[in-house]
Amino acid sequence: MAGVFAVALALAPRLGLFRLIETLVTRFGEERAWKGLGEIAGLHEAVVSLYRQPGRLWPCGLWHLAAWMLGTTETYVALTVLDLHPSFAEAFVIDSLGQGIRAAGFAVPGALGVQEGGYILVGALFGLPREQMLAFSTIRRIRELVLGVPGLFVWGRTERKGAAVRP
């Protein structure tokens, strides 16, 4: 299924899919007088120009793969700390499926509950105890807190400084 999706995505610019999307979204926005959709003009040309520069796409793909492997390593270490002794391949599958379930729950803010239920479900596929998978999901949330909370403070501080400068 992923292979079919990848081929369709690779053929999309050649088939004019992005031009079609650009046209439909622009018409939809004009009918409703949405001014912010004017920035979508040129979507097709921008995507096609990216496809013409594979030297820029490959490094992005490699960085994404590296980030994915770091996530898998985090999963491996966390599951090992929880005394579950996974193989790296099992950690890869657990991380991938868990991220997929979390992405599917995009409508839920922070995927609260979706991530936890997803990891419990994925853990059940491997015969892992619910309690330990819930603990694993909590470990995954710690990273979000460690990076997210300071980010919120910096954002708030930046906004306060910006408000003081504005007339």
Domain shared by 12 and 79, yes or no: no
- Quickly state the pLDDT bin for 154 (edges 50, 70, 90): very high
Answer yes or no: do 83 and 48 share one domain. Answer: no
pLDDT in tens, 93-104: 999 999 999 999
What tokens were used for 166? 């504005």
Mean pLDDT of 75-82: 96
Q: At 13, is the pLDDT very low, low, confident or very high (cuts 50, 70, 90)? A: confident
pLDDT bin (cut points 50, 70, 90) of residue 25 is: confident
**Same domain flag for 72 and 47:** no
Least confident range of 4-18, 82-96, 128-142: 4-18
* Statement to judge: residues 84 and 142 lie in one domain: yes
Same domain, yes or no: 20 and 94: no
The reply to whether 57 falls in a domain is no
Q: Which domain holds residue 119?
A: 62-165
Q: Are residues 41 and 97 in the same domain?
A: no
Domain presence at residue 13: yes
Same domain membership, residue 82 and residue 39: no
**Is the domain of 136 the same as that of 67?**
yes
- Number of folded domains in the chain? 2
Three-state SS across 10-73?
HHHHHHCHHHHHHHHHHHHHHHCCCHHHHHHCCHHHHHHHHHCCHHHHHHHHHHHHHHHHHHHH
**84-88 average pLDDT score:** 94
User: Given pLDDT bands bounded at 50, 70 and 90, which one contains residue 34?
Assistant: low
Domain annotation covers residue 147 = yes
The 10s digit of each residue's pLDDT in 120-134 is: 999 999 999 999 999
Residue 148 has pLDDT above 90, yes or no: no
Task: Give yes or no: residues 86 and 152 share one domain.
Answer: yes
Predicted confidence at residue 18, as pLDDT, reads: 79
pLDDT score recorded for residue 37: 60
pLDDT value for 17: 81
Same domain, 90 and 125: yes
Residue 15 lies inside a defined structural domain of this protein: yes
Mean pLDDT, the chain, integer: 86
* Predicted confidence (pLDDT) at residue 35 exceeds the cutoff of 70: no
Residues 44 and 69 in one domain: no
Tokens 């820029």 locate to 56
What mean pLDDT do residues 66-80 have?
95
